[in-house]
Amino acid sequence: MNRILVTAVVLAGLLLAGFGPARVYYNEKYRPQYHFTPERNYLGAPAGLVYLDGKYHLFYQYNPKGLEEGFNHWGHAVSSDLIRWEHLPVALFPDNLSEDKELCTVLPGSVVVDSQNQLGLQKGELPVLLAFYTSPGCGQRMAWSSDGGNSWQKFSGNPILPYDEKDQARYPKVFFHAPSGQWVMILHRLPDNDERKQGFSFYTSGDLREWQYRSHLAGFTGRPDLVELRLNNRPDDTRWIIIDGNGDYVMGRFDGSSFTPESIRMKCDYGRHFSGATTFSSLPAEEGRVIQMALLRNEEWPGMPFHGQLTFPTELSLRKAGTGIYMFREPVRELVTIQDKSLKWQEEKLIPGLGQNLVKKAEGDALRIKGRFDLKNCESFGFMLRAGKKNQGAELVYNVKRGTLSLLGQAIPLEPVDNKIYLDILVDRASVEVFANNGKAALSSVLFSEENDRSYILVNTGGEVVVDELEITPLRSAWVQEE
């Protein structure tokens, strides 16, 4: 049986004399139930995401030595549905046998499939996986696996780009650009250590060994990503989207060597905890999906054997909204596989001041709230999330006059659509992710609540709001084997 799916549930409630209650696997107080976390130790940003032979491979920044950041390795997990993950042994170790906290460790990058066997490393029918990463002080490097990611070897020609103390290059994003017939690498760089030049540099290669500098685009501060999205899901109408590590994005044209912006910089996630965003490579082309994961970064994880969690996987799309074009993020459809029976409401008129809570039957520490709300003449409406007898909960509120949605001190601009607001809220034991107006804007936040804070309150002020549709659905743990 899989050790990540089979849990020590039978130990729940047993007392060991002198040792207190036995710990139930993946059931600690702040252990996310459907967001990815390692079994123990420090988790950083997703280091590389790739799909191969029916499996989603998640490589992530990992410190096997403890709960602090540093001593970077690549952890590894696989899933067939983006929900239930199987932990595998550490994939990549520091270069040059480094035991330093930073020097020659393994920072995030990307993973691709060498489907044409350009490096000649394939040993069977399964194509080779290539991992590109930054080794601080040791340059941009590559590793390869011919057995589906179970074992890795460092490329004999490393570094593929030497270390340059004047540019602080890191986070190689590599992909194959079919129109130009070449591989592209994007690096975050600080040319001449000049903050004004900070941005993304583009390199190309025909053989994955030799890389040539092509262009530089200033104005970006984090990890680079570049994707091509269909407008309104039309295969014949696409745009290139360059994405910064915090989720900010710019639309434009890409010719294989340089990116030409055609929009202003826009935000997709306004949460202060959202960072290190990147997308899966080699997803089935016929499905046209682009799937993103990021880190929900937080300094403290009180009393936990692990540190850090990733965002729930989201699917990116490009749509027209009003007079503009925007990138949308929504939870992947596979989430329904862990949903339980929903509480549902339709056409409910809410008048402020009546002291009634429409959703008083809803409770839990892992659930989904999805609804459409007609603002009518209200001044505000929203939810109190994870409320309890001594805690009013985290306030998620839409302010009609200001046109803002706010949560945990973060406010985002949000215009109604036909005087209606759409919300899709994912609550887990240590997070709240809010996708507003079908994912046009999002708020991803870490939230620590007490174990007994499991209630929800729907409130409105200043006038009537109509709940057109509302579903509140408990979510089962992705880590517990179902009978």
Q: Which residues of the chain have pLDDT under 50?
A: 1-23, 482-483
Question: Can you tell me the distance from the alpha carbon of 69 to that of 53, in angstroms, rounded to the nearest whole number?
Answer: 32
How far apart are the two ends of the chain, measured CA to CA in Å? Answer: 13
Q: What is the pLDDT of residue 286?
A: 86
DSSP structure class, residue 19? T
Q: What is the pLDDT of residue 353?
A: 74
Identify the structural domains of the chain with CATH numbers, from first to last: 1-29 (no CATH), 31-333 (2.115.10.20), 340-474 (2.60.120.560)
State the amino acid at position 271 in one-letter form.
G
CA–centroid distance for 240 within its chain: 20
Closest to 220 measured CA to CA, from 185, 196, 241? 196
Assess contact for 83 and 478: CB atoms under 8 A: yes
Q: What is the pLDDT of residue 298?
A: 92
Residue 10, judged by CB atoms within 10 A of its CB (0-12, 13-18, 19+), counts as exposed
State the amino acid at position 148 in one-letter form.
G
Q: What is the pLDDT of residue 83?
A: 97
* Tokens read off for 371: 């609804």
Assess contact for 258 and 215: CB atoms under 8 A: yes
DSSP structure class, residue 121? -
Buried-exposed string 46-74: b where 16+ CB fall within 10 A, e elsewhere? bbbbbbbeeebbbbbbbbeeeeebebbbb
Q: What is the pLDDT of residue 483?
A: 39
